[in-house]
């Protein structure tokens, strides 16, 4: 971490999965499932980190970082992850957009 909530990722290239979502009102088991998914993802081969923010309106952006596309595909195929995604579409999200992107350059700043 270079600051609270920022991931210290290795030098590029690596991959990012940008997940932008609008939650439905209420929790309905979402918080527990999100924690479990974060815990599972962190154990996957090729996982490099995650940054996640949601505001009071329910709009959220979660960016997870991965060594390569194979790591992202393996995580997508994880059985528990697949099952929970179903529930996401049925219950937790009004809308979401997923973008898979190759990080080519990066730089950072930290105040003294």
DSSP state of 8: -
Residue 67 interacting with a second copy (CB under 8 A)? no
Binding span for a second copy by CB under 8 A among 14-22, 32-40, 75-83: 14-22
Q: Residue 60's CB: how many other CB atoms inside 10 A?
A: 17
Cα 111 to the chain's mean position, in Å? 26
Give me 84's structure tokens.
């929970």
Residue 73 interacting with a second copy (CB under 8 A)? no
Q: How far is the CB of 23 from a second copy (least distance, A)?
A: 10
Binding site for a second copy (CB under 8 A): 2-7, 9, 12, 16, 18, 20-22, 24, 51-57, 59-61, 63, 89, 93-111
């Amino acid at each position: 971490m270079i600051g609270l909530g920022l991931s210290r990722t290795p030098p590029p290239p690596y991959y990012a999965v940008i997940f932008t979502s609008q939650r439905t009102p209420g929790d309905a088991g979402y918080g527990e499932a999100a924690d479990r998914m974060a815990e599972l993802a962190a154990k996957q081969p090729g996982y490099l980190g995650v940054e996640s923010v949601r505001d009071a309106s329910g709009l959220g952006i979660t960016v997870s970082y991965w060594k390569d596309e194979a790591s992202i595909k393996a995580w997508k195929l994880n059985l528990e992850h697949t099952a929970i995604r179903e529930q996401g579409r049925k219950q937790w999200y009004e809308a979401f957009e997923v973008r898979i992107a190759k990080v080519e350059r990066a730089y950072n700043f930290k105040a003294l």
